[in-house]
Amino acid sequence: MTAALLQSELRSAFAPTEAPREEAPPATPVELAEILKRFGRIDAAAAGRIAALQKQQGRSFAWAAGRLKLASPDQVNTAAAMSRGLLRDDRSAFALARDLVVVRRPQSTEAERFRHLRTHLITSQSPEKLNAFAVAPAGAGRGTYVAMNLATALAFLKRRVVLIDADLRRPTIRKCFGLPAAECGTDFDRPAEETSVCGLSVFAAGEAIPDAQERLAGDAFRALVNRCRRTFDITIVLAAPFDRTADAQFVFAETKSVIVVARRHETRAKSLVEIGAALRRIGAETLGAVLTD
């Protein structure tokens, strides 16, 4: 891959397209209030105050709850996703990372970009290529942000998705989905953990480990990727930032398909050239590239 091709991908990957929408009815104010009460976010008195202001002003439940400072937009959007069957009916859903914009801020420009990226991949790539691919930060690229939002957006379309955290020196996925450290680790033989996102499982490292390259180069990691290919519709592997270590190249060698992530004003052109050269040496294909803020 040349630097020019990468730059072209960065310009086009988020080009507006008609994104497939999750087919679920919107939540009613009563449903939202009941979910928030069930998980202790508001009480009956607060629900009554929200309903009264909503009726008086003719505005949405979210607006009234925010106006009264009784529930945050993140909490209301989480409850709405629960009511639509996108999130499990579980307290852990409220522990999802704030950067998970497809849940926390579904009407935002950022969330819409991930729906565009999801559509770009589903409509332009074969199921075989999407069966396993890596998300590769080039330099300062926000790999975790892209991987968790893309994985969640794909799961919202009723795909069986697994996200593997292969940045073993600085694992981040566990915290993004609110998983206890005791439930995570680098034993590649153990099963993936279900998250509060319906259809999305993760294989998350609990703590940083010093022998990351040895783990990723071993047969156990290869077996994990192959097992996930058979078990899930889509396997996404989050690689370590490319210019920090050579760990990512072991991931590329297993998935053979990569989405490159760059960050506006921070990722250097040199990093894009270097990751492109590494992908060519390994024989890995670039499915696209993502430019984030």
CATH number of the CATH domain containing 249: 3.40.50.300
In the predicted model, what is the mean pLDDT of residues 44-49?
96
Work out the percent of the chain whose per-residue pLDDT is above 70: 89
What pLDDT, on the 0 to 100 scale, is given for residue 105?
95
Residues 145, 12 within the same domain: yes
In the predicted model, what is the mean pLDDT of residues 159-175?
93
Beta bridge partners of 164: 203, 237
pTM for the model: 0.88
What pLDDT, on the 0 to 100 scale, is given for residue 188?
85
In the predicted model, what is the mean pLDDT of residues 190-219?
90
**Counting Cβ atoms within 10 Å, is residue 95 exposed (0-12), middle (13-18) or buried (19+)?**
middle
In this predicted structure, which of 102-106, 160-164, 185-189 has the lowest mean pLDDT?
185-189
Residues 200, 143 within the same domain: yes
- Is 270 within the bounds of a domain? yes
Residues 64, 173 within the same domain: no
In the predicted model, what is the mean pLDDT of residues 27-35?
92
Q: Which residues span the domain enclosing 155?
A: 3-19+107-292
In the predicted model, what is the mean pLDDT of residues 218-228?
94
| CA–CA dist 120, 150 (Å, integer) | 11
In this predicted structure, which of 8-12, 171-175, 272-276 has the lowest mean pLDDT?
8-12
Residues 147, 283 within the same domain: yes
What pLDDT, on the 0 to 100 scale, is given for residue 80?
95
Residues 10, 41 within the same domain: no
- Is 99 within the bounds of a domain? no
- Is 92 within the bounds of a domain? no
In the predicted model, what is the mean pLDDT of residues 77-84?
95
- Is 56 within the bounds of a domain? yes
In the predicted model, what is the mean pLDDT of residues 50-60?
94
What pLDDT, on the 0 to 100 scale, is given for residue 19?
42
pLDDT tier, 25 (very low <50, low <70, confident <90, very high otherwise) = low
What pLDDT, on the 0 to 100 scale, is given for residue 18?
42
Whether 244 shows a pLDDT value over 70: the answer reads: no
What pLDDT, on the 0 to 100 scale, is given for residue 14?
43
Work out the percent of the chain whose per-residue pLDDT is above 90: 69
Residues 249, 275 within the same domain: yes
What pLDDT, on the 0 to 100 scale, is given for residue 3?
47
What pLDDT, on the 0 to 100 scale, is given for residue 15?
43
